[in-house]
Structure 1
Amino acid sequence: MKQENASVLIIYTGGTIGMIENAETGALENFNFEQLQKHVPELKKLDFKIDSCQFNPPRDSSDMEPEAWADLCRIIYENYRKYDGFVILHGTDTMAYTASALSFMLENLNKPVILTGSQLPIGVLRTDGKENLMTSLEIAAAKRRGKPLVPEVCVFFENHLMRGNRTTKINAENFNAFRSYNYPALAAAGIHIKYEPSLIHHCTNGRPLTPHLSMDTNVMILKLFPGIQENVVAATLAIPGLKGVVLETYGSGNAPRSQWLINQLIAANERGIVIVNVTQCSAGTVEMDRYETGKQLLDAGILSGYDSTTESAVTKLMFLLGHGLPPDEVRQMMNISIAGEITIN
């Protein structure tokens, strides 16, 4: 698919994909993406314009905090009219968090924002970085009848294009590092890139891109486990300034029937803390009315996270709380799919 008139901006944040090995020390070092064409000569075969910019200094993905997400939003917003798509090169460890956050922060997005990275540096012989980069660029430039094929925030990794707010990192070593368990891939790359148009999210309201830069980080994840102690839960829910909790429960949204646990959750809910129930399972959805152990949470005012990933639930809470909304409005919005992040039956 030729895209002679297309243009794509590469945004390098940091991470393994942008590193080369120092010949003398063997250490991995970030390289300047102005030299990208030297390391990836295949870029010359792409028949569309490619520009690049980078974070200075580059950030390891472990250091990608909400202010870095805001920086990405600013870069995309400032360059939105100049480019048909954007490719963000990002470390893999927190890529799913960044992709989820951007899907909420970039309201009315109508162009591709593709996050990708690699498990091996792009200068290494067996790197997965070149293919991930090349295919991400093709997807970011792809149009049909003058309109972008995939106008949403996505993650591309190991031949699969996935909705960003549906992804999670599942492997620290294999090239196939990401999964979207609860939503099908938007495209698969083989000899050709096969898109699934019916699965792709389109913003149809015609409004201009609106970046939202404020994220409230007064949230936390509370993972239940057999033997969890009351003093641990009580201390967690009593954290000063806490506004939101992602509660990772068992199975389809179940929790122990310990009365102290229910009392702690009810008290936190009454203090205005928004508590969202997501499953610890890789796949599946929360159904709190299915078993008594889940119904007790529903009765305690705990929200269903449906089939949300933990990464998506956390960043969505940050996003909604960042708007200064009162708890009741945050609860209402958590039950609405903003950017295709949950499936509500």
Structure 2
Amino acid sequence: MKFLKVNINTAAPRDPEASILLIYTGGTIGMVSDKDDQHLVPFDFSEVIHRVPEMRQFKVMLTVLSLDPPIDSSNIEVEHWIKLAQIIQVNYQDYDGFVILHGTDTMAYSASAMSFLLENLSKPVIFTGAQVPIGRMRTDARRNLITALEIASAQRSGKPVVPEVSIFFNTLLLRGNRSTKVESRHFNAFHSGKYPQLAKAGIDIEFNRSVILPPPAEPLKVYQELESRVAVLKLFPGLNKALVEAILKSEGLQGLVLETFGAGNAPTYPWFLKLLREAVDRGITILNVSQCEEGEVHQGQYETSFYLKEMGVISGSDMSTEAAVTKLMFVLAQDISQQEKACMLAQNLRGEMTCRI
């Protein structure tokens, strides 16, 4: 996996207001038409200033790292998340903020993963992308890129305004591990139904400071491992026993995100509960999240979730599936006991869930 480094001349002053590292992994935002106008191809990010001349108005030092070759976000893997975390670790002291250009399809997964890998983050890490390529006339790429850069460089009393992993898209800045892609044909691609927006960009950028994570007192800690042997089981009426058994007994499985109904409810079929209980007894960690976009798990509120709580299934509260999957990967990779992992999953680590007393 190789990244190319390019210094961009934005006509910044000798003493710039901020320094930003722009990391391009791939995706629609970096695509232009070829010379025959037949196909979309990645453009050379050393020429980004020509594509987005408004960037010359920034009084910032801008450096671009471009993945060579760029990849479609559908091909993002755990190793890419680890590499991105390592890049931020290596460059952390040299830049005031980071903007990651990424395909939209798996952006919420990547933003969630980065939030867990970067503990005690005190600088902005902002993901953005586009629904329409930057080379097209009605593109949203320029606005998303420019606003993400502006937010990444925003400071108050010498400190970053948004010291956390977030996603900026269309007009909204959302917490990364609270975001879900909900739209593929319109510009408002991402939604955060279970947590307020961090900022809204209109004529001005209005920050919702009360919901932004405070800067930590401890130094940045970057983790280097994730456990990828996890699965997602979405429940539906008529769920087949053979399918559930195949998933729960798949070789090497370490964890499962169980997408349940409503407030964390699941079928009470004897065969279903038996398979889940056997999986828990074998040491497989099961995390319960609601299928509802704005739902929250309350295990034990109804009989149909009491059995899950009793057997040791862990409540994911109001976590999104994207956050649950990546948090499970993160926690299972820690060298701690099974009980400690269960406690860690039930805790709010990076603002990904609401913990009810």
Give the whole-Å Cα distance in 1 for the aligned partners of 2:336 and 2:23: 32
Quote the residue 1:288 is aligned against.
Answer: 299
C-alpha RMSD over aligned residues: 1.3
Q: Which amino acid aligns with 2:128?
A: T
Q: Distance in 2 between matches of 1:327 and 1:244?
A: 11
How far apart are 1:325 and its partner, in Å? Answer: 3.0
Give the Cα–Cα distance (whole angstroms) in 2 for the partners of residues 57 and 117 of structure 1: 17
Matched, 1:268 2:276: no
| Counterpart for residue 73 of structure 1 | 85
Give TM-score scaled by structure 1 length. Answer: 0.97
Query: Which residue number in structure 2 is paired with residue 330 of structure 1?
Result: 341
**Does the CA contact (< 8 Å) of 1:186 and 1:196 recur in 2?**
yes
Does residue 223 of the first structure (1) align with residue 228 of the second (2)?
Answer: no
Query: Which residue of structure 1 lines up, in the alignment, with residue 331 of structure 2?
Result: 320
Q: How far 1:203 sits from its partner (Å)? A: 3.6
Structure 1 runs of 4+ off > 4 angstroms?
none
- Please point out which of 158, 165, 176 is paired with 1:164: 176
Q: How does 1:127-138 map to 2 (within 5 A)?
A: 127-138=139-150
Is 2:347 the counterpart of 1:339?
no
**Pair 1:243-2:248 in alignment:** no
Structure 1 residue 102: Cα displacement:
0.2
Q: TM-score if structure 2 supplies the norm length?
A: 0.94
Alignment partners' CA distance in 1, 2:37 and 2:50: 21
The superposition leaves residues 259-315 of structure 1 with CA deviations (integer Å, 9 ceiling, x where unpaired) of 111111111111110001101111120111221111121112111010000010000
1:186-220 C-alpha deviation (Å, 9 max, x unpaired): 00000100001110012422x22121121110100
Q: In 1, distance between residues paired with 2:214 and 2:285? A: 29
Aligned to 1:115: 127
Structure 2 residue matching 1:58: 3-state secondary structure: coil
Structure 2 distance, partners of 1:197, 1:117, is 24
**1:7 touches 1:50 (CA, 8 Å); kept in 2?**
yes
Between stretches 149-158 and 233-242, larger displacement belongs to 233-242
Q: 2:112 — aligned with what? A: 100
1:12 counterpart (3, 21, 24): 24
Please tell me the residue identity of whatever aligns with 2:88: I
1:199-218 equivalences in 2 (<5 Å): 199-205=211-217, 207-218=218-229
| Kept after mapping to 1: 8 A contact 2:121/2:216 | no
1:131-174: CA deviation from partner (whole Å, max 9, x where unpaired): 00000000000000000000000000011000000001011111
CA distance in 2, matches of 1:21, 1:298: 54
Counterpart in the other structure of 1:24: 36
Q: Which of 73, 86, 102 is 1:61 aligned to?
A: 73
The farther-off stretch of 320-329 and 59-68 is: 320-329
Contact 1:273–1:327 (Cα < 8 Å) also in 2:
no
Q: Which one-letter code corresponds to 1:53 in the other structure?
A: L
Aligned to 1:186: 198
Tell me what 2:267 maps to: 256
Q: Which moved more, 1:110-119 or 1:260-269?
A: 260-269
**Cα separation, 2, equivalents of 1:326 and 1:243:** 13
Give 5+ residue unaligned stretches, structure 2.
Answer: 1-14
Query: Cα distance, 1:4 vs. partner?
Result: 4.1
Structure 1, 214-223 or 286-295: larger mean CA deviation:
286-295
Q: Distance in 1 between matches of 2:94 and 2:346?
A: 35
- Give secondary structure in 1 for the equivalent of 2:98: strand
Q: Distance in 2 between matches of 1:255 and 1:131?
A: 43
Q: Matched residues in 1 for 2:153 and 2:221: separation?
A: 22
Please state whether the residue corresponding to 2:266 is helix, strand or coil: coil
AA partner of residue 344 (structure 1): C
Distance 1:200 1:256 in 2: 38
Aligned partner of 1:253: which letter? G
Residue 124 of structure 1: CA displacement? 0.8
1:101-120 CA-to-partner distances (Å, cap 9, x unmatched) read: 00000111100000000000
Distance in 2 between residues matched to 1:193 and 1:46, nearest whole Å: 15
CA distance in 2, matches of 1:25, 1:180: 36
Structure 2 counterpart of 1:42, which letter? E
Which AA in structure 1 matches 2:334?
A: H
- For 1:278, which of 289, 299, 302 is the aligned residue? 289
Separation (CA, whole Å) in 2 of partners of 1:294 and 1:69: 34
